[in-house]
Structure 1
Amino acid sequence: MLIDFNNLNINKLSFDTEFEKKVKIFLEEWFSETTKVHVQTSGSTGVPKIFEIEKKKMINSAVMTCNFLGLKEGDSALLCLPVEYISGKMMIVRAIERKLKLRIADPSLKPVEDLEEETDFCAMTPLQVENSLEKLHLIKNLIIGGAAVSESLKNKMLQMKLSNSNRIFETYGMSETLSHIGLKQLMPEQEDYFTVFENVSISLDDRGCLKISAPNVNASELQTNDLVDIKNEKHFKFLGRIDNVINSGGAKIFPETLEALVKKEIPNEALFIGLPDESLGQKLILVIEGNESQEIVKKISEIPFKKNFHRPKEVIFISEMPRTPNGKVNRTELYKKII
């Protein structure tokens, strides 16, 4: 179905599918007299919870995204994310705020399978993008969130040879920032740094982790455990989670940075972990998902790592990586499995 927010009359719309009915419930909540709406957490880091968010702050977030992407009244958008969570709700709020024409598609793994015409804006998870590559040319502005975009997926998107009018971005944010506070362009140009939105400031704590001040969406300064490199007041590069840092022979190693380098060369899932070592403290190990392959080992040996201590001391193959319920590799369980 299609909802034109420049000419909205909910009573005249037909909400037929279960997903469309959920959209209707949110719209009724949004246009009610209450100043807050209910949002469910994904539960990826614990038991799912319900919390309340001020509508005004959601509008502020929507304005930042729409302004950054240059979306204007009458543009088209596609909703294919669950509306129980902040990601789906914010797609609707952006459509309301900018008076977009919003097409509703069930949030499946192939949400744009039936898309036949160009749309100006869409948000998807990496897994949805992976299953929608042949339709990406129809989306002018695509933002990808919910998980990091792998090097393998970046390479697949590059092979699609999209035009310069197709822009694809990776998002950075969390529930507390009401979706995202910055974007990093992946196509047509590939950027290394996230650009934060207007009215968002960034800084570092004494650990080198990112602090975010975004008063329009959250009154409190937000402290993350993400190690970053700040280029200037508007640009930062994600280096890795401080929880995952490996200390080998006194050198701090960011596994996510090395993993991105490895995944440019091999299609397999690959993670670096630090195993206890008497002389080094932690020994750098590369764990690769899949059958043992000398061809892959050879490719790893040929990677031009910046530092010699970035090169793994050992390469281990594992049939299947342990994963969390939402599909992310569980580093803690992997460590337990290897040690």
Structure 2
Amino acid sequence: MVINFNNLEINNLHSQKEFDSKVIFFIKEWLSPSKTVDVQTSGSTGVPKIFEIEKKKMLNSAKMTCDFLGLQENDTALICLPVEYISGKMMVVRSFERKLKLKIENPSIEPLKNLTEKIDFCAMTPLQVENSLGKIYLIKNLIIGGAAVSESLKSKIGQTLKISDAQTNIYETYGMSETLSHIALKEIYPHSNDYFTVFENVSISKDELGCLKISAPDLNSEILQTNDLVEISNDNQFKFLGRIDNVINSGGAKIFPETLESLVKKEIPNEVIFLGIKNESLGQKLIAVIEGKKSDDLINKMTKIQFEKSFHKPKEIMFVEEIPRTPNGKVNRLKLLEIFEGN
């Protein structure tokens, strides 16, 4: 189903497909007299919450993204993210703001399976991109969010697009429900950057622990205090180091699992998550969890990786058939920790 927001006739929108109907329901909610809409958080770092967001601020966010990517009226976009969450809702709002043609595709790990024509804009999770590499050349502007983009996936993206000689721009996003999707983008292709660049009218700083603080009055009236440890390069660029609540304290040493995962995924194609499980002598014991069947080859690759510090080397390498994820594709570290601490 394709909805043309340049010539929207809401009374003519009907579909028997479940996801199409959800998108249509949100469009009607958006057009209602209410000045706010309800948004559900993912629950990847705690209990899922539902809170109200002003439509005006969602439009401000949509304009920031559309302006940054240079989207024009009548450009085509594809929505393949759950519309219950801010990521899916904002794809619809961007279509409103810029009068795009929105193609609706049921959220799945292969959302581009049926795509045959070129489109101008799409937002996907890393897992969706991993399973769509053969089709991403059809997208002019692709943003990837919901989880960090691994070094392995970045490499696959580069190799795939260089072969196809595609004119594709790909960015990793930084944001959260409270910032109405993302407030910063980091280019992955055709150039690879280490730092996120924030949008206009967004300012950044750090608290005493080194966590990012965000001032974005067009999106949220409050200064947002995050749990994300960062390195700030200048007034509008920062590097993400890891979440402070994910920091592992092993024998008095603080370990950032996201930094280790980024290093390991240069060598390991599988998803790898570092966890700190309770341990009497160390406080937390560092383990690496690899998604997939147990493999001597993967274990050998892990043991050969040169970690910066000796305590960065995992005490154990574990395997799990499938890493638990939230409904919108984020790794659920809390659930994964429960599995291994339970064992």
Asked if TM exceeds 0.5, the reply is: yes
Distance apart, 1:142 and its partner CA: 0.8
Task: Tell me which residue corresponds to 2:319.
Answer: 318
State the TM-score, normalized to the length of structure 2.
0.88
Letter of the structure 2 residue corresponding to residue 80 of structure 1: C
* Cα gap change, 1:56 to 1:298, in 2 (>3 Å): same
Where does 1:42-191 land on structure 2 (aligned, <5 Å)? 42-45=42-45, 48-162=48-162, 163=165, 165-191=167-193
* Cα gap change, 1:70 to 1:209, in 2 (>3 Å): same
3-state DSSP class of the match of 1:160?
helix
* Cα gap change, 1:63 to 1:284, in 2 (>3 Å): same
Where does 1:3-42 land on structure 2 (aligned, <5 Å)? 3-42=3-42
Letter of the structure 1 residue corresponding to residue 318 of structure 2: F
User: Could you tell me how far apart the structure 2 residues matched to 1:122 and 1:298 are?
Assistant: 38
Letter of the structure 1 residue corresponding to residue 129 of structure 2: V
User: Could you tell me how far apart the structure 1 residues matched to 2:300 and 2:125 are?
Assistant: 32
- Determine what percentage of the aligned residue pairs are the same residue: 64
User: Could you tell me how far apart the structure 2 residues matched to 1:83 and 1:111 are?
Assistant: 14
**Matched residues, number:** 336
Deviations 1:114-171 (A, max 9, x none): 2111100001122222222211010011111122223333233233134362111111
User: Could you tell me how far apart the structure 2 residues matched to 1:37 and 1:24 are?
Assistant: 14
3-state DSSP class of the match of 1:147?
coil
Structure 2: runs of 5 or more not aligned: none
Distance apart, 1:263 and its partner CA: 1.5
3-state DSSP class of the match of 2:119?
coil
User: Is the Cα contact below 8 Å between 1:291 and 1:317 reproduced in 2?
Assistant: no
User: Is the Cα contact below 8 Å between 2:286 and 2:316 reproduced in 1?
Assistant: no
* Cα gap change, 1:57 to 1:277, in 2 (>3 Å): same
User: Could you tell me how far apart the structure 1 residues matched to 2:109 and 2:33 are?
Assistant: 35
User: Could you tell me how far apart the structure 2 residues matched to 1:51 and 1:170 are?
Assistant: 25
Letter of the structure 1 residue corresponding to residue 19 of structure 2: F
* Cα gap change, 1:229 to 1:47, in 2 (>3 Å): closer
Letter of the structure 2 residue corresponding to residue 318 of structure 1: F
Deviations 1:274-310 (A, max 9, x none): 46474x6655444444555444344234323334443
* Cα gap change, 1:112 to 1:292, in 2 (>3 Å): closer
Greater CA deviation, 177-186 or 260-269? 260-269
Distance apart, 1:256 and its partner CA: 1.1
Distance apart, 1:49 and its partner CA: 4.1
* Cα gap change, 1:317 to 1:45, in 2 (>3 Å): closer
3-state DSSP class of the match of 1:243?
helix
Task: Tell me which residue corresponds to 1:336.
Answer: 341
User: Could you tell me how far apart the structure 2 residues matched to 1:329 and 1:39 are?
Assistant: 19
User: Could you tell me how far apart the structure 2 residues matched to 1:290 and 1:79 are?
Assistant: 29
User: Could you tell me how far apart the structure 1 residues matched to 2:287 and 2:17 are?
Assistant: 48
Distance apart, 1:107 and its partner CA: 2.0
User: Could you tell me how far apart the structure 1 residues matched to 2:290 and 2:159 are?
Assistant: 24
Where does 1:274-313 land on structure 2 (aligned, <5 Å)? 274=276, 276=279, 278=281, 284-290=286-292, 293-312=295-314
Q: CA RMSD in A?
A: 2.5
Letter of the structure 2 residue corresponding to residue 63 of structure 1: K
Task: Tell me which residue corresponds to 2:206.
Answer: 204
3-state DSSP class of the match of 2:161?
coil
Task: Tell me which residue corresponds to 2:237.
Answer: 235
Structure 1: runs of 5 or more not aligned: none
State the TM-score, normalized to the length of structure 1.
0.88
User: Is the Cα contact below 8 Å between 1:297 and 1:315 reproduced in 2?
Assistant: no
User: Is the Cα contact below 8 Å between 2:38 and 2:52 reproduced in 1?
Assistant: yes
User: Could you tell me how far apart the structure 2 residues matched to 1:49 and 1:272 are?
Assistant: 26
* Cα gap change, 1:137 to 1:207, in 2 (>3 Å): same
3-state DSSP class of the match of 2:66?
helix
